[in-house]
Amino acid sequence: MLKIGKLTDYGILVLDALAQVGAVKQSTEELATATGLTVSTLRKVMKTLVDAGLVIARRGAHGGYKLARSPQQIRILDVVEAFEGPVALTECSQSASDCEIQSSCSLVSGWMGVNELLMQILSRVTLEDVRQQTLSQHLPSTLLDANQRIRLINL
Amino acid sequence: MLKIGKLTDYGILVLDALAQVGAVKQSTEELATATGLTVSTLRKVMKTLVDAGLVIARRGAHGGYKLARSPQQIRILDVVEAFEGPVALTECSQSASDCEIQSSCSLVSGWMGVNELLMQILSRVTLEDVRQQTLSQHLPSTLLDANQRIRLINL
DNA sequence: TGGAAAGATTACCACACTGGTATGCTTTAT
DNA sequence: ATAAAGCATACCAGTGTGGTAATCTTTCCA
Ligand code: SF4
Ligand code: SF4
């Protein structure tokens, strides 16, 4: 599956709704109707988003939420990390690894490379890309030749 | 986190061990000592690997396992899909989606793009890449300029 | 042809995580 | 003061994962 959590998904959903209205503050109720989520669920989502500094909250009467920066400056990686912590494909990708066979494993640095690669990709896709469907839906399925491949790997 | 399952990881571990010895068949016991996994766990891993056609099994006395094709021809995506099913970042990425707000969601095709992109990347990294640490461990962290970015997104 | 060597199949269970929900607290504008 | 908002916490059912064992089936060879 390699799926992202549903809450992460909801996070993007909220950011999209906020981007839609520009700089206008939105209340939890307004976001609820805009996104179709329940208020309870929204609260959890908003907390994460605020803690991560992706949206700015204003409390009290006439409060509400607005984007902390423009959709072009919000990376998918930011959102994913906000909800799910650092990207770590394998156990040993994390600092506090508890893989029992790590000492005798020769693949640690190999996985690191893949991990880094995916992070680089996710850091280059922005909220705006997802909103505007910048990414072509039908990518060419032909394999790249060796040179292109190296360039892709090494960015 | 965005982590792959531990069993998937073990799968790569086994494939690495098989690649190490070339065309020689390996028994479950031999793989157990080579990888540090228990025999019970290995059985589950091997079943998945065999079902996916990534390794070839020979039963009976003098049986064992060997790689179905060369490490260069085994894509990480193949292994991931074997253990975790089709890559589907969001609910709606799967055919049988059960996201309740999908009808009123404008991000479906946006996510599709990201999903495709990640799959393309994972399909271009092979077992050999992970074994030989082909991927540079320290990728340049400077952002690409606009043109390069478009080329990356559109492959 | 029988037995040993090997893989295949199935079932079971503890545990952690996820998603969903409710309840009460704090801040701020008027 | 009061109402409108966001903030914090706690709870819980369901699910998925990882780990383990017990049993069946195939193949080779003495
Ligand atoms: S040490 Fe090896 S087996 Fe353990 S998590 Fe890392 S790659 Fe996987
Ligand atoms: S339909 Fe929208 S909210 Fe539902 S899974 Fe897809 S992207 Fe997420």
Which of A:60-89 have CB within 8 Å of B? 76, 80, 84-89
pLDDT of B142 = 32
More reliable by pLDDT, A148 or A141: A148
Select from B1, B2, B135 the residue whose CB has the most chain A CBs within 10 Å, as the one to mutate to test that interface. Answer: B2
Dump pLDDT digits (tens) for A43-77: 999 999 999 999 999 999 999 999 999 999 999 99
Ordered by start, the domain boundaries in chain B are: 6-85
- Interval B112-131 mean pLDDT: 91
pLDDT at B43 over 90: yes
Whether residue A151 has pLDDT greater than 60: no
The pLDDT mean for chain B works out to 88
Q: Is the pTM of this model over 0.85?
A: yes
Question: Which nucleotide C1' is nearest B56 CA?
Answer: C7
CA of A10, closest atom in ligand 2: 3
Distance CA(A107)–CA(B8), nearest Å, equals: 13
Residue with tokens 């770590």: A88
- Supply the DSSP symbol for A67: E
Please state which of the ranges A94-103, B66-75, B104-113 shows the lowest mean pLDDT.
A94-103
Task: Say if residue A144's pLDDT is above 80.
Answer: no
Q: A101-126: buried (b, 16+ CB within 10 Å) or exposed (e) per residue?
A: eeeebebbebbbbbbbbbbbbbbbbb
- For the segment A68-88, the average pLDDT, to the nearest whole number, is 97
Cβ separation B109–A144 shorter than 8 A: no
**Residue A138: which region, alpha, beta or left (left: phi > 0; alpha: psi -120 to 50)?**
beta
CB B108 within 8 A of CB B92: yes
Give whichever of A89-98, A107-116, B38-47 has the largest mean pLDDT. Answer: B38-47
Taking an 8 Å cut-off on Cβ atoms, the answer to whether A121 and B117 are in contact is yes
pLDDT confidence tier of residue B1, bands split at 50, 70 and 90: confident
Please say whether the beta carbons of A90 and B9 come within 8 A: yes
Better-scored residue on pLDDT, A57 or B143: A57
| For residue A139, pLDDT beyond 60 | no
Instruction: Name every residue whose Cβ is closer than 8 Å to that of residue A151 and which is 6 or more positions away in sequence.
Output: none
Q: Do the Cβ atoms of A107 and B13 come within 8 Å?
A: yes
Cα A20 to Cα A65: distance, rounded to the nearest angstrom: 13
- Fold classification of A6-85 (topology level): Arc Repressor Mutant, subunit A (1.10.10)
Is there a contact between A42 and A32 (Cβ–Cβ < 8 Å)?
A: yes
Highest-confidence segment of A103-112, A121-130, B80-89: B80-89
Please measure the distance between the N-terminal and C-terminal CA atoms of chain B and give it in whole angstroms.
Answer: 26
> What is the H or E stretch that residue B55 is in?
strand B55-58
Which pLDDT value is given to residue B136? 55
User: What pLDDT sits at residue B95?
Assistant: 75
Query: Mind listing the pLDDT tens digit for each residue in B63-73?
Result: 999 999 999 99
